[in-house]
Amino acid sequence: MTYIGHGGKPIVERVLEKEKAKDAIQGLTQIPVRRQIAHEAISLSYGFFTPLEGFMKWEDVNTVCAEMRLSDGTVWSIPILFDINAEKLKELEIKEGDSVLLTYIDAPLAIMDIEEIYDCDKLTVCQAVYGTAETKHPGVRRTMECEDKFLAGKVTLVNEPKFNEPYKTFWMTPKQHIDAMKEKGWEHMVAHQTRNVPHTGHEWLMKGAWFAANEDLMVDELRTGVLVNCIIGEKRVGDYIDEAILLAHNKLNEARYFRPDVHMVTFTLWDMRYAGPREAIFHSALRTNLGCTHHMFGRDHAGVGDYYDTYAAHHLLKSVKDDLRIKPVFVLEWWYCPVCAEVTCSALCGHTDEKQKFSGTLIRSIIMDGVKPTRLILRPEVFDTVMECAEKYGFGSPFVTEKYLAERQPIFTLEKMEVGKA
């Protein structure tokens, strides 16, 4: 079976069988990589970033920054970069045409075939991708912390990650997502992008997106599903911890706020860039590769601070929607209206002076105080799950702290393998 992803390109899994991998890695120069690079090597190898099969060449980086397209014309919005210290590069004597072994947590991870070594103006990248060069922007800060040199080339996984709980239950490759969609009998699947635990406003957004994605299908046949594909990876201090995000969304399913035959929770390894409209384009490509036919985009999608207009993602998506294989579902800001006694929005309700916003900041402050919010805001089962995760995984807090970033339990482990010296 051929699996087609973003840009109409086939989804390619670059993963070696264990015995072949053991032979292939012998004698290769080893490069230890940090978590972000490890996560992206895994995603590239399984096809999450189709049509990319490796870290990007300079020509692609340049056209992505200038035109938001790869050099072959495919829409793409965020450079996927492999940075390396210039002195380290010289010490290892790596050159174009070499194959190297990427290692992570003292174990082999992937083989990278070096096709190009280049310099890159990080400020130019930041201005193009984030619309700013201010280092208080977390995406800018991440990019400016990159090393001086960049490597490009395809990567092949040689050591498949073994995901720990609670992640193990929710891990699927792109091809497995597509297979699961077919098994469930879904003709349409709408993606809900999230880096938060769900409040009832999120529920309304997902349910509204489900109806929109159902389009011409008969509602009683249940051939449309909601995919909650959580972003798992490094986030800002103050964001929710990964375990709470995953398990709280799944609790909506377990507690029957969603029927299990129309709702599925999975995750993707990705360190948020907070790139607003540009990250919305990236999410479109990513969820196309998971088999989604529709993608919901709400207020300030993937934004941070006041860097982007409220609906900047909607406008950018409209400019390229004809080149996407996924249909955007645009939603407005929703709130609770005590006069209407329901969740509504400005396009429907005239009681704007009475509106009660679903403020993430307010909900965070309530949870931080250990107070259970009203069920109009947060389902009690979700609150209980979040607090359980705080004790079990977050060192007493459901929010990312410096301690959590430094000492969190591993998302996955890698098998130790003998590697001969280069």
Sign, CA dihedral 60-62-68-73, equals negative
Whether the per-residue pLDDT at 103 is higher than 90: the answer is yes
Tell me: the pLDDT tens digits for 132-161?
A: 999 999 999 999 999 999 999 999 999 999
Domain borders along the chain are 6-160, 168-407
Pairs from 92-99 (Cβ < 8 Å, separation ≥ 24)? 92/29, 92/31, 93/29, 94/29, 94/31, 94/151, 98/29, 99/28
Question: Within its chain, how far is the Cα of 355 from the centroid?
Answer: 31
Rounded Cα distance, 178 and 172, in Å: 10
The DSSP result for 241-257, as a single string, is PHHHHHHHHHHHHHTTS
* pTM of the entire predicted model: 0.94
Q: How many residues does the chain have?
A: 422
Rounded Cα distance, 121 and 144, in Å: 10
Rounded Cα distance, 412 and 161, in Å: 6
Whether the per-residue pLDDT at 336 is higher than 90: the answer is no
Whether the per-residue pLDDT at 379 is higher than 80: the answer is yes
CA atoms within 13 A on the CB side of 172: 21
Helix (H) or strand (E) holding 342: strand 342-345
Rounded Cα distance, 223 and 55, in Å: 37
Average pLDDT over residues 23-32: 96
Residue of 20, 304, 1, 5 whose CA lies nearest to 156: 20
Is residue 112 within 8 A of residue 246, CB to CB? The reply is no
Tell me: the pLDDT tens digits for 214-253?
A: 888 776 677 999 999 999 998 888 889 999 999 999 999 9
Q: What is the pLDDT of residue 334?
A: 73
Query: Both tokens of residue 304?
Result: 């941070």
Burial of 364: CB neighbours in 10 Å, binned 0-12, 13-18, 19+: middle
Asked if the 168-407 domain carries CATH number 3.40.50.620, the reply is yes
Tell me: the pLDDT tens digits for 39-83?
A: 999 999 999 999 999 999 999 999 999 999 999 999 999 999 999
Residue with tokens 């406008």: 315
What is the CB neighbour count within 10 angstroms for residue 72?
12
pLDDT band, residue 374 (cuts 50/70/90): confident
Q: CA triplet 179, 182, 184: central angle to 5 degrees?
A: 110
Query: Both tokens of residue 385?
Result: 């799950």
Rounded Cα distance, 322 and 413, in Å: 41
CATH of 6-160, one of 3.10.400.10, 3.60.15.10, 1.10.150.20, 3.40.920.10: 3.10.400.10
Query: Both tokens of residue 240?
Result: 């929710």
What is the CB neighbour count within 10 angstroms for residue 288?
23
Whether the per-residue pLDDT at 403 is higher than 70: the answer is yes
Whether the per-residue pLDDT at 339 is higher than 80: the answer is yes
3-state DSSP percent of the chain in helix, strand and coil, to 5: 35, 20, 40
What is the CB neighbour count within 10 angstroms for residue 353?
6
Assign 119 to helix, strand or coil: strand
112 CB-near residues (< 8 Å, 6+ apart): 31, 41, 54, 55, 82, 99, 100, 101, 102, 151, 153, 154, 155, 156
Whether the per-residue pLDDT at 181 is higher than 70: the answer is yes
Burial of 324: CB neighbours in 10 Å, binned 0-12, 13-18, 19+: middle
Rounded Cα distance, 83 and 106, in Å: 19
Rounded Cα distance, 125 and 142, in Å: 12
Query: Both tokens of residue 320?
Result: 């390229």
